[in-house]
Amino acid sequence: MRTCRRYRNYRLRRGFISSVIERDRNLSASLALVPVILAALLVAGRAPTQTSPPPAAPPGLDRIQHFVFIMQENRSFDHYFGTYPGVEGIPPGVCVPNPAGGPCVAPSHDARLVNQGGAHNWANALNCIDGGLMDGFIAGSTQKPGEVMGWHDSRELSNYWNYASLYVLQDRLFESITSYSLTAHLYMLAAQSGGYIGTGQPQRSLTPFP
């Protein structure tokens, strides 16, 4: 996870993981309500009830045949799509303090195709967030400021920007866990990581995986 890539909000995106998790949570909550609803109907069974037909599905849903999940590690939404037209991406005028001295560092275009990234751990992410000030990205990284504050666009990411223009791009997706890539992979498959949040090899969970 590139924990030092977010410039304003605490939201490092990982593809469609968060939407899948949120869907599963909503489904679980709905299923949990079923016995309560049935019990209420049995208690009030003497009173006549009137049911309404279920709402019609939005047009076009029957044409969806596949969902494609693309998971990238060490990247954030702003790193890939922070300058995409119309999204809530990199805010104008943002400039991050440089603890080494000198002027603050503003986000800038990075034409390099290979990036080293920052540290990949929980403590580093908290340093970047800096209590919600979102100004610790340079201080929390071992790389040069340009490495941390750089962003890409269609010049380097033509495929991804084409996907965004042809299909759907969500700029309000959030990370499933503030950790590194393996935990996000676990969340994508099981909507949890079994309590595992650190780096290194996974340990046996105290609670069974679903």
DSSP-assigned beta bridge partners for residue 150 = 108
Percentage, residues of the chain above pLDDT 70? 69
List Cα–Cα distances, 207 to 16, 32, 134, in angstroms.
Answer: 26, 20, 34
Instruction: Give residue-wise pLDDT tens across range 39-76.
Output: 333 334 444 556 788 888 778 878 888 888 888 777 88
Give domain status of residue 3, yes or no: yes
Q: Residue 199's pLDDT is what? A: 66
The domain in which residue 116 lies consists of 1-41+68-200
For residue 134, give the amino acid letter: M
Q: Do the domain assignments include residue 33?
A: yes
On whether the pTM is more than 0.75, the answer is no
Over the stretch 124-146, which tens digit does the pLDDT of each residue have? 778 888 898 888 888 877 777 77
Q: Binning pLDDT at 50, 70 and 90, where does residue 1 land?
A: very low
Supply φ then ψ for residue 165, to 5 degrees. -75, -30
**69-92 burial code (b ≥16 CB/10 A, e <16):** eeebebbbbbbbbbebeebebbee
Q: Is residue 72 domain-resident?
A: yes
Domain membership of residue 156 (yes or no) is yes
- For residue 63, being part of any structural domain is answered with no
Establish if 135 belongs to a structural domain. yes
Backbone phi, then psi, for 151, in 5-degree steps? -135, 160
Identity of the highest mean pLDDT range in 18-27, 30-39, 140-149, 180-189: 180-189
* 115 in a structural domain: yes
Helix (H, G, I), strand (E, B) or coil at 109: strand
| pLDDT value of residue 81 | 95
- With contact defined as beta carbons under 8 Å apart, do 179 and 1 qualify? yes
Q: Dihedral through CA 96, CA 100, CA 101, CA 104, nearest 10?
A: -10
| Number of domains making up the chain | 1
Joined together, the tokens standing for residue 3 give 């924990």
Residue 196's pLDDT band (boundaries 50, 70, 90)?
confident
182 lies in some domain: yes
Beta partners for residue 96, in sequence order: 105
The residue ranking higher by pLDDT, 201 or 32, is 201
Tell me the residue type at 160. Answer: Y
- The residue-averaged pLDDT of 108-115 equals 90
